[in-house]
């Protein structure tokens, strides 16, 4: 099996996440303990008991999703031998940690700080995001250009599926682009609950802070290629990992191209996409990007046991 790991991004968090993994798999429990220790707070308690409002805060949600993803990965053990990986936005950090390019503690501290920097950038210059459904991404990008003028910025931020694009920028410009997309035939434009205009030029201050931080954290060359959000190319060196993780904050998440690249590199029909961690969003997107692709979501202890039983690598 040519396993390709997919690691989810922000929005996948929910109270109770990962609790069953910690209860049933010592390797998963060790990940949650390492993250709690690295952050100096009982993040796992917040993940398992809530309150949800606190868990949803960017600087909590990001390390929580990373912890759940890496716990599921640890519970799987060596059963899937990945040929490549990718993560959606924040998930790219989980992908590097799964590829042993980044240690668990370092990854947890990095994404916690990333969340804080993103929130601070959002406080400095308020921005927002909206999902545009049922319109080709090229048309969405054209409407964003039309809605941007002089000072106001709106860009296509997440190219999630051929007919699903998230736009990001100044609130007035996002509103204007949304109206233009509706007029151009979008089925729906939905405002997202976010604390800033992520993956847009409005994140420049956060990107500068993050770049400095990334230079200080030890990275290894990944054990298998990680396809980067920013350019949809496989990353094989520590220096490229650092550079592209910094660029990611102001660049669009090229998810459609990432999935197509992973599919091609993993031998097309021979590839099995394994979404590890909370939620099933990425497996759903895979099936819309590459119809006929095999995609499985592994987030619960039951999911892990079912996968291990089917692949019987005991």
- Active site amino acids: 89, 199
DSSP 269: G
Phi, psi (rounded to 5 degrees) for 100: 55, 30
| Cα angle 201, 114, 127; round to 5 | 35
| Cα angle 230, 234, 240; round to 5 | 65
Phi/psi region, residue 103 (left: phi>0; alpha: psi -120 to 50; beta: rest), is: beta
Each residue of 200-239: b (16+ CB within 10 Å) or e? Answer: bbbbebbbebbeebbeebebeebebbbbbbbbbbbbeebe
Phi/psi region, residue 199 (left: phi>0; alpha: psi -120 to 50; beta: rest), is: left
């Amino acid at each position: 099996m040519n396993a390709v790991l997919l690691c989810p991004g922000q929005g996948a968090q929910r109270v109770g996440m990962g609790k069953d993994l910690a209860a049933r798999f010592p390797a998963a429990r060790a990940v949650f303990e390492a993250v709690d220790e690295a952050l100096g707070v009982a993040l796992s308690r917040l993940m398992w008991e809530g309150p949800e409002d606190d868990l949803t805060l960017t600087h909590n949600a990001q390390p929580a999703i990373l912890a759940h993803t890496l716990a599921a990965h640890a519970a799987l053990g060596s059963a899937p031998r990945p040929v490549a990986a990718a993560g959606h936005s924040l998930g790219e950090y989980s992908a590097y940690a799964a590829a042993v390019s980044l240690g668990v503690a370092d990854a947890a501290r990095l994404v916690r700080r990333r969340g804080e920097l993103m929130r601070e950038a959002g406080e400095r210059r308020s921005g927002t995001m909206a999902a545009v459904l049922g319109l080709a991404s090229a048309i969405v990008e054209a409407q964003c250009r039309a809605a941007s003028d002089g000072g106001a910025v709106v860009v296509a931020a997440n190219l999630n599926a051929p007919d699903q694009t998230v736009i990001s920028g100044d609130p007035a410009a996002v509103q204007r682009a949304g109206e233009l997309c509706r007029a151009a035939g979008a089925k729906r434009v939905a405002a997202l609950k976010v604390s800033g205009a992520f993956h847009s030029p409005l994140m420049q201050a956060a990107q500068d802070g993050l770049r400095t931080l990334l230079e200080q954290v030890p990275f290894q060359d990944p054990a298998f290629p990680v396809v980067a959000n920013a350019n949809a190319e496989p990353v094989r060196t520590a220096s490229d990992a650092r550079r592209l993780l910094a660029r990611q904050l102001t660049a669009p998440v090229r998810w459609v191209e990432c999935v197509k690249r992973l599919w091609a590199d993993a031998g097309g029909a021979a590839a099995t996409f394994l979404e590890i961690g909370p939620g099933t969003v990425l497996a759903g997107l895979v099936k819309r990007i590459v119809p006929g692709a095999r995609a499985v979501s592994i987030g619960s202890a039951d999911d892990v046991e079912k996968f291990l039983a089917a692949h019987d690598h005991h």
